Structure 1
Amino acid sequence: MDDLLSETFSALADPTRRGIIVRLSRGEATVSELAEPFDLTLPTVSRHIASLERAGLVRKSRRGQERTCSLETDRLREAEDWIAQYRDFFESRFDALSRQLTVQVQAEEEK
């Protein structure tokens, strides 16, 4: 994919990959440690990690025989920035809706 934002959201679309991100937000972990909470084989977890790596969300390094993963936050920040643009829009729309509902409730109470 050429679109980095699409790659990020595609990688985050899977609940297992989101779980891996949550775990890595607490610090580095080996592939085995990342696999522990999931009922998946190590090769399956490795494929999820590879998807996160391709999206630039995870960095894998080697320490002897162990492969350690760490979270890369730049792409998450980019996704957060994109979402923030729309958060502002929707919050303003919700505020307008709230004002309209308040006016309608008050009008009903005055009847």
Structure 2
Amino acid sequence: MILDNLPVGKFRWITLVSPEDQEGTELLLEPNDHPAAKEYQQKIYAEGIPATIFGVEDIKQEYERLSEKGVEYTMEPTKMGEITMAVFDDTCGNLLQIAQK
């Protein structure tokens, strides 16, 4: 659900929240117009490094929910010590990770 969609010069300030939890985590979408930011994004993506990590309470349930919506994972839920994590492609040049402790 879009909270804000405001013009800022040639770009827009857009923030999103889950429609199920409108008081929950708010995401800010920013343009990737700076050459250094583009290079950083491309290099961490090529190395398989997630740009962001989100904590989840039930990774199996979240993995299945997102998979049903067409999310493609580069790493299925994998236990690493006390943490289980999964990594997916956001289709905008970023890898995102979900993790459960």
TM-score past 0.5 threshold: no
TM-score interval (norm. to shorter):
under 0.3
Of Structure 1 and Structure 2, which has the larger fraction of its residues in strand?
2
What is the TM-score when the length of structure 1 is the normalising length? Answer: 0.25
Larger Rg: 1
Q: Which one scores higher on RCO, CA 8 angstroms, separation ≥ 6?
A: 1
